[in-house]
């Protein structure tokens, strides 16, 4: 007792903490995760990863770059986007289903050269059901819309807030007719314009406001009329955008978007690319800026990367220039576009 009294007199002081009867506060997992800009990459073979933008050093022109992602043999980037760690990532499959992940749920690449995680390990998705589009959204406002386009030229506009809650098994984003496939998706407002391009080299530009908003489980409406043709892509127009078109035999070009007059949806469109037996049909299209890069993958696993400034800006009624030399039994099967800063930080990994 005497020793305790001596300790109290020598070291005793006022209590520095307060005992409260308030209930304990619970924290959600995402409240503990910092907001951070990341690059999200999905490959043709279904591997995905996110990497902090800050992991890379900025390189000047002529630099060698750094390893960005060690992709599997005969694999290449299919989708790439910039997102916040708290963004919602929507994955659209060929069957019209939509899956969702929080960006932070994708394992972070602890080094630049990591190969990523198989997407099927993160989503309850059928291995045979390929992902054809990937979109990032911070929230789901009712004044924004998801646009979805199909191989048969159908297009659908649905309020973005209809996708705020998506089950682990995914939900139906668009009801498709037999034999049809969802090929593209994007976020737009009623003030935007959209372009749909066909395999036969025709394109139609229309106003998003002219499209009727539909329920989530409904089908689409005719976006472009196709006679024995099929659509290869859709894009939402942004200021200064050019339309990039690439054929199966490796010919490509850029066309200024103002060259495409506005039309009502459902028409046959106008010529966007003069295709022939020599060029092959269109393999894909993208709305791009002229200061980025194009990455192309062939059916035999060959990958080329080309600065956009080396691709000619031409009129609509031309066949383009050769971007990739292919053997007779090879063809272009996939396109991806990267911004200048993305290629500087990802370097030889793409």
Asked if residue 299 is part of any domain, the answer here is yes
For the chain, the farthest-separated pair of C-alpha atoms sits apart, in whole angstroms, at: 103
**CA nearest 116: which of 64, 61, 48?**
48
In a domain, 13, yes or no: no
Distance CA 300, CA 149 (A): 28
pLDDT value of residue 64: 33
Decide if 18 is inside a domain: no
Identify whether 47 is part of a domain. yes
SS3 333: strand
Domain assignment present for residue 21? The answer is no
CATH number of the domain that residue 318 is part of: 2.120.10.90
For residue 272, tell me if it sits in a domain.
yes
Residue-by-residue DSSP string for 70-85: -PPTT--EEEEEEEET
Phi, psi (degrees; rounded to nearest 5) at 222: -65, 120
pTM equals: 0.83
Q: Is residue 2 part of a domain?
A: no
Residue partners of 340: CB distance under 8 A and separation at least 6: 291, 292, 293
Q: Is residue 96 part of a domain?
A: yes
Give dist(CA 110, CA 141) in Å, integer: 33
Q: Which domain holds residue 314?
A: 33-349
As averages over each run of 10 residues, the pLDDT of the chain (350 residues) reads 75 73 69 86 89 53 38 68 92 96 87 77 86 94 96 98 93 96 97 98 97 95 95 96 96 97 95 97 94 87 88 95 93 84 57
Number of domains in the chain: 1
């Amino acid at each position: 007792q005497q020793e305790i009294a001596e300790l109290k007199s020598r070291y005793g002081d006022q209590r520095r903490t307060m005992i409260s009867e308030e209930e304990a506060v619970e924290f959600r997992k995402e409240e503990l995760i910092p907001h951070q800009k990341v690059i999200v990459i999905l490959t043709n073979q279904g591997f995905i990863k996110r990497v902090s933008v800050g992991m890379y050093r900025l390189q000047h022109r002529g630099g060698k770059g750094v390893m960005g992602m060690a992709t599997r043999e005969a694999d290449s980037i299919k989708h790439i986007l910039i997102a916040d760690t708290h963004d919602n990532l929507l994955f659209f499959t060929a069957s019209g289903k939509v899956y969702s992940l929080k960006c932070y749920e994708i394992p972070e690449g602890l080094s630049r050269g990591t190969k990523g995680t198989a997407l099927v390990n993160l989503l309850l998705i059928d291995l045979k059901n390929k992902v054809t589009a990937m979109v990032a959204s911070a929230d789901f406002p009712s004044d924004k819309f998801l646009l979805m386009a199909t191989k048969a030229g159908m297009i659908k506009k649905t309020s973005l807030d209809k996708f705020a809650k998506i089950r682990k098994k995914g939900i139906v984003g668009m009801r498709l007719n037999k034999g049809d496939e969802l090929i593209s998706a994007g976020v737009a407002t009623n003030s935007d314009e959209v372009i749909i391009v066909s395999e036969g080299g025709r394109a139609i530009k229309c106003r998003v406001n002219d499209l009727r908003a539909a329920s989530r489980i409904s089908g689409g409406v005719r976006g472009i009329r196709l006679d024995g043709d099929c659509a290869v892509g859709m894009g939402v127009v942004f200021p200064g955008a050019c339309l990039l078109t690439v054929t199966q035999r490796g010919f490509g070009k850029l066309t200024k978007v103002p060259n495409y007059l506005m039309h009502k949806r459902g028409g046959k469109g106008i010529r966007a690319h003069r295709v022939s037996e020599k060029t092959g049909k269109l393999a894909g299209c993208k709305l791009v800026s002229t200061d980025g890069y194009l990455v192309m993958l062939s059916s035999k696993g060959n990958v080329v990367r080309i600065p956009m400034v080396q691709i000619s800006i031409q009129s609509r009624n031309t066949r383009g220039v050769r971007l990739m030399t292919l053997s007779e039994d090879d063809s272009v099967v996939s396109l991806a576009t990267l911004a200048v800063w993305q290629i500087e930080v990802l370097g030889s990994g793409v």
